[in-house]
Chains A and B, each alone.
Chain A
Amino acid sequence: MNSWVLIVLMAALCATIFVAGRSRSLNVATGVGGTRYLNSLPFYYGMLSALWAILPALVLVTLWKIFDGQIIEHIVISELPDDVVFEDASQRGLMLNQIYNIMNGQLSADTAPAYLADSVARLQALKAHADLLVSVLVVMMMVGLGGFAWWRINPQLRARAQVENVFQLVLLGCSSLAILTTIGIVMSVLWESLRFFHAVPITDFLFGLEWSPQTAIRKDQVAGSSSFGAVPLFAGTLLIAGIAMLVAVPTGLMSAIYLSEYAHKKVRAIVKPLLEVLAGIPTVVYGFFAAITVAPFIRDAAVSMGLDNYMAVTSESALAAGLVMGVMIIPFISSLSDDVINAVPQSLRDGALGLGATRSEVIRQVVIPAALPGIVGGVLLAVSRAIGETMIVVMAAGLAAKLTANPLDSVTTVTVQIVTLLVGDQEFDSPKTLAAFALGLMLFIVTLALNYVALHVVRKYREQYE
């Protein structure tokens, strides 16, 4: 049965049971002298019956959708002739693919072994049966449990309390999704990383100086050797993030100071949202801008100054990516600094001004020191953003894994490598693709630590003046 049909059927049944439950509670109520003698409003009786019907059914359908494919595939594979033996899981997967391709008409059945035709027929039959089976099961369950709840309705039933308990549980479930997501991230990244560290020792990964993630498809292939030393990636990431910070921290901080301490209210009302537009522009736009406009400009400028005689000057450069990333981060730094600067009590400023300090002296010697922990926290958050930023570096920084401090050269970063290793179709048993997960793990740990420290610093500092 089509899944849409099933969904509509479930919704219809649920609605029917709700109406039935509600009207039964009304019936029951007339027996005892009116709805005010019921424990709860009729709505809740209907709701309770409907919940009894729909919740278990939903659980069943979800579980089924997750596991049915695997169960059916297992049956089909186990019914293959005895002389078909699989040495490992990938051969099994290949066979299954073949069966699916024949089923979808992408592969002619004539060229395949004869027994596969049987398998295809079996698979189709099983799928059809399974869908029908689960539909019938769901309908029976809904009618049965809904009917049971309907039958239980009586004036003493605490329907409202029960419905509200379910409601609260659902809410709890929704908020636990954040935990589930975190667990999902940790599990998926950790699992594949462990597989990677089986193939490549963790010390080689962390301290190796060469990154060339090519893996041989055949054993005797030329250039089949690969090395997974991630130090050049870390260096490239730090170089670009460093350039970005050099741009963003002074500009962002000075903008925040100017806007909160000097600027007229009207100027602030126009300029602040304008700066914040910078934060809302998608990173792919910055990436395009960096690659098309900024990078060629920097290269031409460097060449015309004759810098190419002394160092490598490439059309994709760390400087271009870093500069543009810095611009992207300006509003981030400025709005965070703005917050902490505004949190410094006016009395401190007034005191210093009263002693005869100029405004800039007040800012430099009173406001900034007082706001420093908050500003440091904001900068740490910005660093973590710069490290995790992907599109700008993918489009403008290049792919060459080099250990260089030359900002005009092309470098590569952790995020760039994650994306380039994983874009396209790939198998998940080569160190090449697994390496991306190891890099992801590193990125996750570093940014998590940075964020954790930064959030603590910012929060602790804010509480001081409250």
Chain B
Amino acid sequence: MNSTNNAEKPTTAELVERSLAKRRASEWRFKQMGRASVAVGIIALLILFTQIIGNGIGAFRQSFVHMEIEFDPDTLGMTEVNQEQLALANFDGIVRNGLRELFPEVKGRREKRELYSIASYGAGFKLRDMLAADPSLLGQRVSVKLLVDDDVDTYVKSLRAGDPYEDRISEAQRKRIDKLLESGALRLHFNTGFFTSADSAEPEQAGILGALLGSLFTLLVTGSLSFPIGVAAAIYLEEYAKRSRLTDFIEVNINNLAAVPSVIFGLLGLAIFLNFFNMPRSMPLVGGLVLTLMTLPTVIISSRAAIKAVPPSIREAALGMGASKMQMILQHVLPLAMPGMLTGAIIGMAQALGETAPLLMIGMVAFIAEVPAGITDPATVLPVQIFLWADSPERAFVERTSAAIMVLLAFLITMNTLAIWLRRRLERRW
């Protein structure tokens, strides 16, 4: 190489100088890409939450129509208040009479039928319950507030939101509703029914109590099985097991089970619990058993971590004082590892609470309009209820689905907060 060439070739310093701007720009771009990625996640979370809350907040309020009702013995076809007559009485008739009083001008069959559809299909049952509770009402006039049909309710709420949804009600009906709204006879109240009743085919009567209790019973079964079994398995693997083929195999199995898709557990539940053991469908007991098998790996893995975190010196001190291995474990290791185990168990339960797919397969999609009273009653659970409502064509179910999601998320957040609180509060540093 000669000197002229050398003069043309830039020095390293010059090379670096030239590329520096480019490198800095690329550095900046890279960092912004990182920022953008984080933003994507958080924006997705925000959109999800605002959508759910925006859709669901309406379900906590419900339209009621305030009107005068006469418990007219003739219309009801009752002479006295007893079980038999209550069952046969025409309560829908007095609801209709009340509605006709509000709009005396309505004539013609179609018009009347439309008018009657303002009140919910279940309005008569409420009056029946009123009369059953207070027989002296027979023959009297009282003012009551009755549930309104879901189409009317949807219209009223959409009106307040400034975007009237009028597809399912006629022009004349809309005028009637507007008149009721003006006179204050049609008002929104807190929707207690949503928290005190079970599923229903009529959106305005559908509530989540049944699913909530179903979830509770299912979790009860899951928790009372998976926690003790998981802890026992963790103790064995951490304290007793020597490395052998068997324990290796158990370990591999636990890790694999933690990653098996949840539908597969549904297949297992269907084939073993329902087909082989002939257990009935749709029970929290079977659901709880399936979820137990699903959450067990989570509980075992976290319990093992908690046991591992207890320092060996504690064990040695206990053994040195003459405790047996079982005493050492039950009286020293377990109490110290308990917070970590509980945290793991709560997190596992939170997973179980949100699980849907395996429960669909063991029949918890059944339409159940009764509130379950125990673990062997047919029931559905919150996520499945959400799935069922999401599938329903009525527009009013959209807000109920979102509201049910809000309840489910509230539960999950409570459980996770509890887990974090427990960990903070009981955590020990050695």
Tell me the A residues contacting B by CB distance below 8 Å.
Answer: 66, 69, 160, 163-164, 167-168, 170-172, 174-179, 181-182, 184-185, 187-189, 191-192, 250-255, 257-259, 261-263, 271, 274-275, 277-278, 280-289, 291-293, 327, 330-331, 334, 356, 358-361, 363-364, 381, 384-385, 387-391, 394-395, 415, 418-419, 422-425, 428, 436-437, 440, 443-444, 447-448, 451-452, 455
Contacts and interface: CB of A to CB of B under 8 A. Distances in A.
18 contacts: A175-B233, A177-B293, A182-B256, A185-B260, A192-B271, A258-B37, A258-B38, A275-B45, A278-B41, A281-B409, A292-B390, A359-B31, A364-B30, A390-B356, A394-B357, A418-B263, A437-B267, A455-B255
Given A280-B412, A285-B386, A182 B34 contact: no
A359 B27 contact: yes
B232 A170 contact: yes
Interface string B58-99: 000000000000000000000000000000000000000000
B422 interface: no
Given A168-B240, A278-B41, A390-B261, A189 B387 contact: no
Contact of B360 (A172, A360, A423): A423
A170 B232 CA distance: 8
B42 A358 contact: no
Given A175-B250, A284-B356, A168 B27 contact: no
Contact of B236 (A172, A436, A455): A172
Interface of B: 16, 23-24, 26-27, 30-31, 33-38, 40-42, 44-45, 47-48, 51-52, 55, 228-230, 232-237, 240-241, 249-250, 253-257, 259-268, 270-272, 275, 277-278, 281, 293, 296-297, 300, 324-326, 350, 353-357, 360-361, 363, 365, 383-384, 386-387, 390, 398, 401-402, 405, 408-409, 412, 416
B324 A436 contact: no
Given A250-B37, A292-B390, A171 B357 contact: no
A164 B30 contact: no
Contacts of B38: 254-255, 258-259, 263, 271, 275
A320 B14 CA distance: 51
Contacts of A258: 31, 34-35, 37-38
Interface centre among B23, B38, B324, B326 (most CB of A within 10 A): B38
Given A262-B34, A289-B52, A423-B365, A171 B259 contact: no
A41 B275 CA distance: 47
B262 A282 contact: no
B398 A178 contact: no
Contacts of A285: 48, 52, 354, 386, 405, 408-409
A275 B41 contact: yes
Contacts of B55: 292
A274 B31 contact: no
Contacts of B325: 164
A283 B354 contact: yes
A164 B31 CA distance: 59
B261 A389 contact: yes
A292 B398 contact: yes
Contact of B257 (A178, A255, A381, A387): A178
Contacts, number: 260
Contacts of B265: 185
B390 to A, nearest CB: 5
A419 B264 contact: no
A348 B193 CA distance: 63
B129 to A, nearest CB: 28
Q: Is the interface of A mostly helix, strand, loop or mixed?
A: helix
A181 B354 contact: no
Contact of A284 (B44, B324, B386): B386
Contacts of B52: 285, 289
Closest 4 CB pairs of A and B: A388-B261, A258-B34, A282-B354, A188-B271
A254 B36 contact: yes
B34 to A, nearest CB: 3
A250 B402 CA distance: 30
Contacts of A289: 48, 51-52
A419 B408 contact: no
Contacts of A277: 45
Contacts of B262: 388, 390
Nearest to A391: B356
Nearest to A356: B16
Contacts of B33: 254
Contacts of B16: 356
A327 B268 contact: no
A381 B41 contact: no
A331 B326 contact: no
Given A250-B37, A262-B31, A275-B38, A391 B357 contact: yes
Given A185-B260, A188-B268, A280 B300 contact: no
Given A254-B33, A277-B45, A428-B275, A284 B263 contact: no
A274 B45 contact: yes
A178 B55 CA distance: 42
Contacts of A292: 51, 55, 390, 398
Contacts of B234: 175
Contacts of B30: 359-360, 363-364
Nearest to B230: A174
A179 B253 contact: yes
A42 to B, nearest CB: 14
Contacts of A278: 41, 44-45
B261 A254 contact: no
Nearest to A185: B268
Given A389-B261, A390-B261, A188 B267 contact: yes
Contact of A188 (B36, B261, B272, B281): B272
A321 B357 CA distance: 16
B233 A174 contact: yes
B222 to A, nearest CB: 14
Contacts of A389: 261
A41 to B, nearest CB: 9
Contact of B250 (A178, A251, A391, A455): A178
Nearest to A455: B255
Given A167-B326, A447-B260, A419 B361 contact: yes
Given A257-B34, A387-B261, A171 B236 contact: yes
B286 to A, nearest CB: 14
B270 A174 contact: no
Given A178-B233, A181-B257, A436-B267, A274 B27 contact: no
Contact of B350 (A262, A280, A387, A440): A280
Contact of B387 (A170, A281, A391, A443): A391
Nearest to B357: A390
A252 B38 CA distance: 8
A261 B27 CA distance: 13
B268 A178 contact: no
A419 B268 CA distance: 13
A361 B20 CA distance: 12
Nearest to A66: B277
A283 B356 contact: yes
A422 B275 CA distance: 13
A436 B361 CA distance: 11
A178 B232 CA distance: 12
A263 B48 CA distance: 25
Contacts of B416: 280
B302 to A, nearest CB: 15
Given A69-B278, A395-B390, A415-B261, 18 more contacts: A175-B254, A181-B253, A182-B253, A182-B257, A185-B265, A189-B268, A250-B37, A254-B38, A259-B34, A275-B41, A280-B412, A282-B412, A288-B402, A289-B52, A292-B55, A358-B27, A390-B262, A422-B266
